[in-house]
Structure 1
Amino acid sequence: MTLIYGHRGAKGEAPENTLAGFQKCLEHGVRRCELDLHLSRDGELMVIHDPTLKRTTGRRGKVVEHDADELVDYDARQGGPGWLQPAPIPRLAELFERCPFEHWQLEVKSASRVRAARTVLAIQELATRYGLIDKVTVTSSSREVLRALNRLTPEISRGLVAEYNWLDPLKVAKQHGCSLLALNWTLCTPERLQKAQKQGLHVSVWTVNEPALMRRLADFGVDSIITDFPGTAVSTLQR
């Protein structure tokens, strides 16, 4: 059966990467999620997609220029579906405490060698503290991040995020010891899927929002889909 991951919580139904969105995902009975991480100035893991604050909070500046205590006061409901209550940027620690997901895909964007190292070590520390090491896969399209995972936190499962076709994603995934391949749906042919699964990869396809596409990918045999509309995915795939 094809598993369902809520994309940035439930991006199409609630403000992305906020506690409200992850709770919405859980309300649908979807116990797997995908989210994005950036470090605050004081080294805490914050759940936000962009390196800058503008798109979701309307504020200026970069995430890394603010301490965690400031960031959790910023309302991140801009640009998403209408939402009445403020929806602050959460710390990853808060989600680990409050959201009983079975599995987390934690995406880390491109980073310098130093920042990649700091980020993966912070993830290891937090996942260990909450007893979630075996429920976490850190995903990235950045070779620097994947190398840091290999070098510093080999016990954490890792995944390659593949959006473009210019490099063979299966080769890159193998090179970095990945167990998961997060594949843009446009790259997911039955041939590539079969080959990836033969290689032992869990293939998670994103961002899948149309019911017809959900059904088609499930028929192909993808391991999971990542969707902005977990409610739609449940009614489409779990009837």
Structure 2
Amino acid sequence: MTLRQRFLERPIAHRGLHDAGAGRPENGLSAIQVAVDAGYGVEIDLQLSSDGVPMVFHDHELERMTGMRGEISDMPAEDLVQIPLRGTDRPIPTLHAALQVVEGRVPLLIEIKDQSRVMGEVDGVLERAVAEMLDHYAGPVAVMSFNPHSIAAMAEAAPDVTRGLVTGGYDHPAWAPLGEARLEQLRAIADFDRVGASFISHDKDDLDDQAVQELRGRGVPVLCWTVTSPEEADDVRGKADNITFEGFRP
């Protein structure tokens, strides 16, 4: 499935149009709602509860966004939806709740967080749960992940849902444990065709990369993350087909 043109027409709000100072935490329903009302596309992250429910949450650990210790994968959804996001009385949302807010009014870009944590094979539980929910969703939607194995699992679970890879230069020290051979494979975006991807979302600071430019030469849409100012938006113009943004309104 190719990426719909609507994903290239308006900037995409990273984790919703969030503003902690205004009581709109990232990946919260209020941030999603405000982005939808403003006509932006919406990007959200998904983690998995202990009982197999897709939760709209970025980190594996709860602490940064809730102040609670522990990991999201260790708790059932019925408990997670009682935990307020930091600084608000609004809880961690489920994917189902987020879909109800968006209602197909704007493009929805879903990042499936790496459940293996080492960019390795996945059991497909999260991917199948996402596929089941999207089977009943009529709006423009696409899924993506840093982990190609996750996108391969999505291809099996939901072949008609548009898929992409989140990519970058992988030069941060946090990636080093993966080993240079695996990092080189990821930098080369070598799994793009194998997993049936139709777009990439690439690090805004690495858009001149040869692999990115080769894909653009093939007509592959290139999104980028995460643009945080009008100046950065100007810098990537002509290098990417759309931006994922936060911290300002393009």
How far, CA to CA, are the matches of 1:192 and 1:147 in structure 2? 20
Which residue among 217, 227, 233 is the counterpart of 2:245?
227
Structure 2 contact 62–70 (Cα < 8 Å) conserved: yes
Q: Which has the higher helix share?
A: 1
Are residues 11 and 163 of structure 1, via their aligned partners in 2, closer, same or farther at CA, if it must alter by over 3 Å? Answer: farther
Aligned to 2:5: none
Which residue among 153, 156, 161 is the counterpart of 1:156?
161
Aligned residues: 222
- TM-aligned CA deviation for residue 173 of structure 1: 1.8
- TM-aligned CA deviation for residue 116 of structure 1: 4.4
Aligned to 2:35: 25
- TM-aligned CA deviation for residue 156 of structure 1: 1.6
Aligned to 1:172: 191
How far, CA to CA, are the matches of 1:69 and 1:109 in structure 2? 21
SS at match of 1:196: helix
Are residues 43 and 217 of structure 1, via their aligned partners in 2, closer, same or farther at CA, if it must alter by over 3 Å? Answer: same
Structure 2 contact 39–106 (Cα < 8 Å) conserved: no
Aligned residue type for 1:17: N
Which residue among 65, 86, 89 is the counterpart of 1:77?
86
SS at match of 1:207: strand
- TM-aligned CA deviation for residue 170 of structure 1: 4.2
Structure 1 contact 41–67 (Cα < 8 Å) conserved: yes
* C-alpha distance after superposition, 1:52-73 (max 9, x if no partner): 1111001111111111111111
Are residues 65 and 222 of structure 1, via their aligned partners in 2, closer, same or farther at CA, if it must alter by over 3 Å? Answer: same
Aligned to 2:215: 196
Alignment gaps of 5+ in structure 2: 1-7, 171-183
Structure 2 contact 207–239 (Cα < 8 Å) conserved: no
Structure 2 contact 19–31 (Cα < 8 Å) conserved: no
- TM-aligned CA deviation for residue 202 of structure 1: 1.5
Which residue among 98, 102, 119 is the counterpart of 2:101?
98
How far, CA to CA, are the matches of 1:174 and 1:124 in structure 2? 20
Aligned residue type for 2:157: L
How far, CA to CA, are the matches of 1:66 and 1:9 in structure 2? 24
- TM-aligned CA deviation for residue 153 of structure 1: 2.3
Are residues 50 and 190 of structure 1, via their aligned partners in 2, closer, same or farther at CA, if it must alter by over 3 Å? Answer: closer
Larger RCO (CA within 8 A; separation ≥ 6):
1
Structure 1 contact 36–49 (Cα < 8 Å) conserved: yes
- TM-aligned CA deviation for residue 22 of structure 1: 0.7
How far, CA to CA, are the matches of 2:138 and 2:39 in structure 1? 22
User: Once the two structures are aligned, what percentage of the paired residues are identical?
Assistant: 27
Structure 1 contact 157–178 (Cα < 8 Å) conserved: yes
